[in-house]
A and B are shown apart, each in its own frame.
Chain A
Amino acid sequence: MANTMQVDLVAPERKLASVQALEVRIPAASGDMTVMPGHAPVITTLRPGKLTLVTSEFDQDYAVTGGFAEISTDGVSILAERSLPSAEFTQEMHAELVLEARRAHEEAHPSAADITGKFLADMEALGSHMFG
Chain B
Amino acid sequence: MPSLKDLKNRISSVKNTRKITKAMQMVAAAKLRRAQEAAENARPYALRMNAVMTSLAASVGGSDSAPRLLAGTGKEDRHLLVVMTAERGLCGGFNVNIAKKAKAHAAKLRAEGKQVQILTVGKKGRDALRRELGDLFVAHVDLSEVKRIGYVNAQEIAKDLLQRFDNDEFDVATIFYSEFESVISQVPTALQVIPAKFDAPEDDASVSSLYEYDPSEEEILADLLPRGVATQIFAALLENGASEQGARMSAMDNATRNAGEMIDKLTIEFNRTRQAAITTELTEIISGAEAL
Contact = CB atoms under 8 A, between A and B. Distances in A.
Contacts of B44: 8, 10, 15
Interface of A: 8, 10-15, 28-30, 40-45, 67-68, 70, 72, 77, 79, 81-82
Given A30-B214, A44-B213, A45-B215, A13 B38 contact: yes
Interface stretch (B64-72, B179-187, B219-227): B219-227
B198 interface: no
B49 A41 contact: no
B52 A70 contact: yes
Nearest to B46: A12
Given A68-B223, A81-B227, A13 B213 contact: no
A68 B52 contact: yes
Contact of B41 (A13, A45, A72, A77): A13
Contact of B42 (A13, A68, A77): A13
A42 B42 contact: no
Instruction: Give the top 3 A-B pairs by smallest Cβ distance, nearest first.
Output: A12-B151, A44-B214, A14-B41
Contact of A42 (B151, B214, B234): B214
A77 B48 contact: yes
A45 B223 contact: yes
Which secondary structure dominates where chain B touches chain A? helix
B57 to A, nearest CB: 13
Interface in B221-258: 223-224, 227, 230-231, 234
B48 A30 contact: no
B210 interface: yes
A79 B48 contact: yes
B48 A10 contact: yes
B207 to A, nearest CB: 9
Given A10-B44, A11-B45, A45 B220 contact: yes
Given A28-B214, A41-B210, A79-B49, A12 B231 contact: yes
A4 B254 CA distance: 54
B147 to A, nearest CB: 14
16 contacts: A8-B44, A10-B44, A10-B48, A12-B42, A13-B42, A13-B150, A13-B151, A28-B214, A41-B210, A41-B211, A42-B214, A45-B220, A45-B224, A68-B52, A68-B224, A77-B48
A24 B73 CA distance: 40
A42 B212 contact: yes
